[in-house]
Amino acid sequence: DTGVSQDPRHKITKRGQNVTFRCDPISEHNRLYWYRQTLGQGPEFLTYFQNEAQLEKSRLLSDRFSAERPKGSFSTLEIQRTEQGDSAMYLCASSIDENTGELFFGEGSRLTVL
């Protein structure tokens, strides 16, 4: 399978715990995006990497959220001290380096905070 893969697919945690999601983009794609999607809404932009550099971060993103892409390949998204409002689907997407173009999404990691 050469698509975008995300792990885990589903995470259930208690409020206050930390969680980490991993994304493996399509190998030749150097742009990587994290989005969040809640029920009945469209994906909401969180952050964007070009290679290992984090170039954009939503101003709405809490400082409890941090993302890394240390070698310009896979990426991790960590949420510290989770809150019930963090419950959502976290989507990763990748694209080839161009100004705008097709985003290839993974199937997402669903977070449930109890």
Summarize as ranges the residues that interact with another protein (CB under 8 A): 4, 31, 33, 40-45, 48, 50, 55-56, 59, 91, 93, 99-100, 102-103, 105-108
* Nearer residue to another protein within complex by CB, 78 or 102: 102
Cβ-Cβ contacts under 8 Å for 53 (sequence gap 6 or more): none
Q: Give the nearest distance from C-beta 15 to another protein in angstroms.
A: 26
Q: Give the nearest distance from C-beta 51 to another protein in angstroms.
A: 13
* Nearer residue to another protein within complex by CB, 14 or 27: 27
Helices (H), 21-84: none
Report yes or no: 26 and 104 within 8 Å, Cβ to Cβ.
Answer: yes
Angle ∠(106,52,107) on CA atoms, nearest 5: 5
Q: Give the nearest distance from C-beta 30 to another protein in angstroms.
A: 12
Can you tell me the distance from the alpha carbon of 23 to that of 30, in angstroms, rounded to the nearest whole number? 13
Can you tell me the distance from the alpha carbon of 61 to that of 46, in angstroms, rounded to the nearest whole number? 6
Q: Give the nearest distance from C-beta 3 to another protein in angstroms.
A: 9
* Nearer residue to another protein within complex by CB, 16 or 101: 101
